Amino acid sequence: MLFSARCRHLWSVIAMLGAWCAGISPSSAQSEPVHPQAKSIACPENDSGLKLPAGFCATIFADGIGHARHLVVAPNGVVYVNTWSGHYYGNDTPHVGGFLVALQDTIGAGKANINSRFGETVQSGGAGGTGIGLYKGALFAEINDKIVRYALPAGSLVPRGPAVPVVTGLPLGGDHPMHPFTIDGEGSLYIDVATATNACQAQNRTAKSAGIDPCTELETRGGIWRYDASKTNQTFSPSGRFATGIRNAEGFAIDPAGYFFVTQHGRDQLHANWPDLYKPEEEATQPAETLLRLSQGGDYGWPECYYDAVQGKLVLAPEYGGDGGKKVGPCATKIAPIAAFPAHWAPNAMALYEKQQFPTRYRHGVFIAFHGSWDRAPYPQGGYNVVFQALAGDHASGQCEIFADGFAGAVKSPGQAEHRPSGLAVGPDGSLFVSDDVRGRIYRIVYRGGSAAEGGAAKFTPCPSASAPAGNVSADDAKPPEGTHPDAGAAAETAGLPVAAGATKEMVALGDRIYHGQVGGATCTGCHGANAKGTPLGPDLTDTQWLWSDGSYAAIAQTITTGVPQPKQYRSPMPPTGGAELSSDQVSALAAYIWGLSHRSAAASSTSTTSRTSTTVPAKLAIPGDKNTAFSKPFHATAVGVGAS
């Protein structure tokens, strides 16, 4: 241990001497920009797996630090990260230590060699958070229902004193319990207090449930609140509201001219909850994610309105009398966005770029981290990337480009993505930092130069149009040698599943197709994953832990039919029939498939036929409810008899 510390010190000294010999002080080495017209330099460690424009390189700055949400970089190059825990991550075990993390690279390697945790812990009652920021030498962070301030003494990596409450009593619970924030140059603290529901329905995320009118939720949710970063012990109240009608604004940017921009997560489940008004593919393509220019007292339309990606305008939501995109009504008086992006990509963070390191074309624009979709199932998911949107004053300029991709790995889906971008920050030297809230990775992206250094002739990948089609229905992730057609591999997989008494192998095979969205319009994979191993949105369907039934075939079918209006461990209900318009025969087939998945390991370890069944049921299940009852896609298909809901 002592030898290792001495080695680290030696390398630090060598690095500092190298910088001194080159005529650069160690402190200025952190802030010295890469000259945009420098010759292209190969990436020293291309271990990030990211796809970037020519001339850019990425390193893994840190890894495994917990569910990293937003981050901020101090003038001395220290990266501060807020990490989170709870329902969003399946209530897994939080990282040991404080939820706040300080990362520093003292040897110029592009990777943090110092990693210090501080702040609230599980033992002290903390659950972490999303928001984090710096103002006048102090660190601000969201912890549970409050924004706190830590003093950062000069030369100190982490705070030495206790957290001081700045704002307390922020609303928790519901669909969006996080509180991202930003602080402007005058010390105004702007907090996103996102909505508790999807569309302010009388019954959240329930088919054909009307909207509450007026939406009383807007009194304390669905907007931006403003407080004073210099004051302490301020209490959240309706009087602090700065702007309203914003469903979930997680990304903030304020440019030098004072223009204030926020991203907005568009609503979910248009076809799911209103199948008579919207086509199945419109679940994946509507509404657009948006970029808003914020103004005091502004009303941006939620829940009455959503931004139609095809028509390019705000239209009336079905919960408030909308007819599938034709009526405008009160939406004519709401403030429209300045840019639109593909539906459900989930803009979780935004960073304005004003530094000199990147080519000129990236200045005076914003980078946006798209966490990635779930509600595009059974069509291909989207997002899981970082895009760049140019700005011109108070409006967007041109189409956005996909700047960084490859975070998710081989599969873009909530359950199988290896990493999901969740936070963005620009360092003092112009490097771009990206956080990942799956495995707690921090990326550092730098520009090394190239033949098209100024970007005029540089090649880049444009974002798909917000009105682009949904694509083809996605099957499970079967790969050669089984084949590449939609059913490839499915027969081999289902043939090995046990069959419940009262079901047949044919029913199991049909249930597989229903589960993967090929029959009946089900979106099970969006919440439970293509392999049914679960995601942060829905539980593992392959184990034998049961909270809603005894695990029998009949009980699973019953749970699918009736849904789960009040999940025990996940944050949103599952509508009846899992949210899809399934006939009784399709429910029986889906139940047979789920039962087979959950009993696969038991069947594999047993040599007897009886060990492959859990109960005896009639050959024809009696499923309550008419097969034409219109329920549709779930926000979280959290039950189907399995125990994590």
Give residue-wise pLDDT tens across range 432-446: 999 999 999 999 999
Would residue 2 count as lying in a domain?
no
Q: Are the CB atoms for 248 and 264 separated by under 8 Å?
A: yes
Number of neighbouring beta carbons within 10 Å of residue 137: 11
Which of 452, 468, 494 minimizes the C-alpha distance to 361?
Answer: 452
Among residues 449, 471, 501, the one where a domain terminates is 449
Would residue 464 count as lying in a domain?
no
pLDDT of res. 604 = 52
Choose between 484 and 579: higher pLDDT: 579
207 with 59, same domain? yes
Pair of tokens at residue 348: 């979780």
pLDDT of res. 245 = 98
- The Cα–Cα gap between 151 and 368 comes to 29
Any idea what DSSP says for residue 40? P
Q: What number is the average pLDDT over the span 468-489?
A: 52
pLDDT of res. 531 = 79
431 with 495, same domain? no
Any idea what DSSP says for residue 389? E
Would residue 261 count as lying in a domain?
yes
Q: Which residue has the tokens 């992730």?
A: 477
237 with 318, same domain? yes
pLDDT of res. 458 = 63
Q: What number is the average pLDDT over the span 200-217?
A: 95
Q: What number is the average pLDDT over the span 259-268?
A: 98
Would residue 477 count as lying in a domain?
no
What is the chain's mean pLDDT, rounded?
A: 83
Among residues 449, 479, 501, the one where a domain terminates is 449
445 with 496, same domain? no
pLDDT confidence tier of residue 493, bands split at 50, 70 and 90: low
Number of neighbouring beta carbons within 10 Å of residue 639: 29
Would residue 619 count as lying in a domain?
no
Choose between 29 and 76: higher pLDDT: 76
562 with 425, same domain? no
477 has a pLDDT exceeding 90: no
Max CA distance (Å), the chain:
84
Pair of tokens at residue 283: 């679940």
Choose between 291 and 637: higher pLDDT: 291
- The Cα–Cα gap between 392 and 264 comes to 20
Number of neighbouring beta carbons within 10 Å of residue 31: 14
Q: Are the CB atoms for 343 and 466 separated by under 8 Å?
A: yes
Q: Are the CB atoms for 575 and 638 separated by under 8 Å?
A: no
The sheet carrying 289-294 orders its strands as 252-254, 260-264, 289-294, 339-341
Helical pair 584-598 and 505-515, crossing angle rounded to 10 deg:
100
CATH code for position 417: 2.120.10.30
Pair of tokens at residue 189: 């603290």
- The Cα–Cα gap between 284 and 279 comes to 10
**Residues across the chain:** 645
- Please return the burial class of 329, using the count of CB atoms within 10 Å of its CB with bins 0-12, 13-18 and 19+: middle
327 with 443, same domain? yes
439 with 509, same domain? no
Would residue 556 count as lying in a domain?
yes
498 with 435, same domain? no
Would residue 232 count as lying in a domain?
yes
Pair of tokens at residue 382: 């989207």
513 has a pLDDT exceeding 70: yes
Q: Which amino acid is at 237?
A: S
Range of the domain at 591: 490-612
433 with 533, same domain? no
Q: What number is the average pLDDT over the span 161-185?
A: 95
Task: State the virtual CA torsion across 454, 458, 464, 467 in degrees, nearest 10.
Answer: 70
Choose between 16 and 278: higher pLDDT: 278
pLDDT of res. 483 = 31
494 has a pLDDT exceeding 90: no
317 with 190, same domain? yes
123 with 225, same domain? yes
- The Cα–Cα gap between 342 and 465 comes to 7
CATH code for position 575: 1.10.760.10
Cα separation values, 286 from 37, 370, 374, Å: 42, 16, 13
- The Cα–Cα gap between 289 and 337 comes to 9
- Assign 140 to helix, strand or coil: strand
Helical pair 553-562 and 584-598, crossing angle rounded to 10 deg:
130
Helix then strand count (H, E) for the chain reads: 10, 29
Among residues 449, 479, 502, the one where a domain terminates is 449
- Which residues touch 559 (CB under 8 Å, ≥6 apart)? 548, 549, 639, 640, 641
pLDDT confidence tier of residue 312, bands split at 50, 70 and 90: very high
Four-residue CA torsion sign, 622, 506, 553, 499: positive
Would residue 227 count as lying in a domain?
yes
pLDDT of res. 349 = 98
Count the domains in the chain.
Answer: 2
427 with 516, same domain? no
pLDDT confidence tier of residue 22, bands split at 50, 70 and 90: very low
pLDDT confidence tier of residue 538, bands split at 50, 70 and 90: confident
- Assign 147 to helix, strand or coil: strand
